[in-house]
């Protein structure tokens, strides 16, 4: 049974608070006719702070798409390896044990994908499969988990590394002045996350079923307009209402597994905004506290796109996990409107074993854990 292990998450060192965001909006757009509405919407997100890969002064500039994309590549190469090493350590595996890398990102473009660079620089095997996903936006975190699950179902002894790299601040467009754009400027943050899905062994969420659902005729609700200046994010005012059609999809998938989506032990949900979580609580008839991991991510980091679900899972681990066999759901939502959903149970290793960690040198990237089971005497 494939097990989703403890994620590693890293956020950049530059911080912008809610107060900073509101002040900047007032300074940059003092005569905007809908500024009061935009400020109110930003305040209602509940985002206390966000992290940026560049200082706010640089973030507010637009040096051109070529420069921005070069920054994306440089920042990814500087920040991804450490979270990969941590995720491998959490899963008690080496780079050489990984059979596929799923890389998700919608905030920059590279070809070859960063997967090729990782294989060349971190001692992954040359036959490691590569699956870059670039166009599912925030839903890609859930999609990555599902594709890893599918791969491990086909190859039961395989291990899959998932990497989510989102630098949303590099998509800031100073000329986009619609209310949706102003709201986005106060909502999205930057983060890098990684996790491993083990085909066998490991501690975490033992994946049992996954599914996808697309809401018809909503393709223009969340989208990119690709122009000379890069990616222009378009957010329709109807997006906050998406839980009404998506909650039944969650219920239907759970029912196919003979579970009740309103009676689970843990919920890992993409935190696109507070309305998403509030509505899902109402439609599934579960207490708001059920979404505490997702809400904490939103408050402390903002909407970090595909990395949200991985950070929310990390918070579940930080809380001590769940009782063995506890049932839960993981769901990411994004353009389409698309939901990527999975069901699983909390799984702990059998008692009577411990792990021994031996540092092994990794070419060009510090150390990588070489871990073997050791019986307890």
Catalytic annotation, residues: 138
CA distances from 211 to 143, 195, 339 (A): 9, 20, 8
Distance CA 96, CA 34 (A): 54
Distance CA 198, CA 126 (A): 19
Distance CA 306, CA 76 (A): 15
Distance CA 340, CA 330 (A): 8
What are 15's two structure tokens? Answer: 């911080």
The H or E element that residue 360 is part of is strand 353-361
What are 159's two structure tokens? Answer: 């291990």
Cβ contacts of 182 within 8 Å, gap of 6 or more: 25, 29, 32, 34, 35, 38, 41, 42
């Amino acid at each position: 049974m494939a097990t989703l292990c403890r994620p590693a998450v890293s956020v950049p060192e530059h911080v912008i608070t809610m107060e900073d965001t509101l002040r900047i909006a007032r300074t940059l757009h003092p005569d905007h006719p809908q500024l009061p509405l935009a400020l109110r919407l930003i305040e209602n997100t509940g985002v206390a702070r966000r992290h940026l890969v560049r200082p706010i002064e640089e973030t507010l500039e637009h040096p051109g798409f070529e420069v921005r994309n070069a920054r994306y590549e440089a920042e990814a190469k500087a920040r991804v390896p450490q979270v990969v090493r941590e995720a491998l350590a959490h899963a008690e595996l080496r780079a050489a044990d990984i059979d596929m890398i799923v890389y998700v990102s919608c905030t920059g473009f590279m070809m070859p994908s960063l997967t090729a660079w990782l294989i060349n620089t971190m001692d992954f095997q040359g036959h490691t499969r590569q699956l870059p996903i670039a166009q599912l936006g925030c839903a890609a975190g859930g999609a990555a988990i599902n594709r890893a699950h599918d791969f491990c179902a086909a190859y039961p002894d395989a291990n899959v590394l998932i990497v989510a790299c989102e630098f949303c601040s590099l998509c800031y467009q100073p000329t986009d002045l619609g209310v949706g754009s102003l709201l986005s400027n106060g909502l999205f943050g930057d983060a890098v996350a990684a996790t491993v899905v083990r085909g066998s062994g490991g501690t975490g969420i033992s994946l049992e079923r996954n599914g996808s659902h697309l809401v018809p005729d909503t393709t223009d609700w969340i989208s990119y307009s690709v122009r000379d200046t890069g990616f222009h994010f378009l957010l329709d005012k109807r997006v906050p209402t998406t839980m009404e059609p998506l909650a039944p999809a969650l219920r239907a998938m759970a029912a196919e597994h003979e579970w009740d989506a309103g009676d689970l032990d843990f919920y890992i949900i993409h935190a696109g905004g507070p309305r998403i979580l509030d509505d899902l609580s109402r439609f599934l008839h579960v207490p708001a506290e059920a979404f505490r991991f997702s809400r904490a991510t939103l408050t402390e980091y903002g909407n970090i796109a595909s990395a949200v679900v991985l950070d929310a899972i990390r918070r579940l681990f930080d809380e001590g996990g769940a009782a063995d066999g506890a049932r839960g759901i993981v769901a990411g939502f994004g353009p389409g409107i698309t939901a990527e959903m999975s069901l699983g149970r909390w799984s702990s290793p059998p008692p009577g074993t411990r792990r021994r960690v031996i540092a092994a040198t990794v070419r060009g990237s510090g150390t990588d854990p070489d871990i073997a089971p050791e019986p307890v005497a």
